[in-house]
Structure 1
Amino acid sequence: MTITYSWRTPFDNTELDALHAVGFGYEPSGHDWWAQVSRHSLGWVCARDGARLAGFVNVAWDGGGHAFLLDTVVAADQRHRGVGTGLVAEAARQAAAAGCEWLHVDFEPHLRGFYFDTCGFRPTDAGLIPLPGRPAPGQPAV
């Protein structure tokens, strides 16, 4: 396995939709990921094993000093091999190169060890409110 990491490189919507569906447990939706990230993100990192998309992370930002990791996902057969760590490291390098001072991430509790121990994030206080019509995290939709 030789994984390569690339910043803001093209990807096929179908391959990213399939990766997201497996990683986050839903059926592929046909979402236009390319339009979303190319319009709204500082960038993204693709991890490839040859031509195959093996991982992806979206890097959103505020247009200034803060960047945010969203939807870090690694193919099931590539997990626990350093691919996620490589995605985060490349995202951090590229965010710093763009002039960002901070890289933020939020995550589910089972990923604490990955983000804190493996990737070097530190705990901070943060807040979250569900917006009208959306369930709170961990709550069923009404």
Structure 2
Amino acid sequence: MAIGGPSQNSDAVLVVRPPLTDEDLNELFSASWPGHRSTSFAPMLARSLVWIAASREGRLVGFVNVVGDGGLHAFILDTTVHPDERRQGLGVRLVRAAADEAKACGAQWLHVDYEPHLESFYAQCGFRPTAAGLMRL
């Protein structure tokens, strides 16, 4: 299902739960994340509550994944925008669309972990900082 139309400053189309190939996702993640190793995304998507993809002219240029606890909590993961598409509002559009979809799926709380340099980005998306704990396993 496509979400809205292109915005004034972007003709990227957002789609909820589109079929995505490993090739498309690995290409996006390799361009966006140094050191990314090709992987199969099917197991991840099978456990997802929802995901949103952004494409422009048939090319995957953005992605965000939402997982849930089966109840009130959902978690944003893997917010990714192709380097050529950054700083144009696409990431904010993706995260806000993911929030809307998570709410439609019954989530009442949406969580995200991020590095300090991304705090202003996630604030633009509507998040507020909270205290949390993290354990590396």
Q: TM-score, normalised by structure 2?
A: 0.89
Offset, 1:27: 4.3
5+ residue gaps, structure 1, are: 132-142
Following superposition of structure 1 onto structure 2, how do residues 110-125 of structure 1 map, counting pairs within 5 Å? Answer: 110-116=117-123, 118-125=124-131
| Contact kept in structure 2, 1:23 and 1:74, CA below 8 Å | yes
Task: Give TM-score scaled by structure 1 length.
Answer: 0.86
For 2:106, what is the secondary structure of its paired residue?
A: coil
Provide the residue aligned with 1:25 in structure 2.
34
Q: Quote the RMSD (CA, aligned, Å).
A: 1.1
> Matched residues in 2 for 1:69 and 1:27: separation?
19
Q: Is 2:110 the partner of 1:103?
A: yes
Match of 2:95 in 1: 88
Aligned to 2:24: 15
Deviations 1:101-142 (A, max 9, x none): 0111001111111001x11100111001111xxxxxxxxxxx
Greater than 3 Å deviation, 4+ residue runs: none
CA distance in 2, matches of 1:15, 1:76: 15
Number of residue pairs matched?
128
Verify the 8 A CA contact 1:18 1:28 in the aligned structure 2.
no
Distance 1:130 1:24 in 2: 20
- Which residues of 2 match residues 66-85 of structure 1 at below 5 A? 66-85=73-92
Give, in whole Å, the separation in 2 of the partners of 1:35 and 1:13.
11
Sequence identity of aligned pairs in percent? 45
Question: Which segments of 5 or more consecutive residues in structure 2 lack a partner in the other structure?
Answer: 1-9
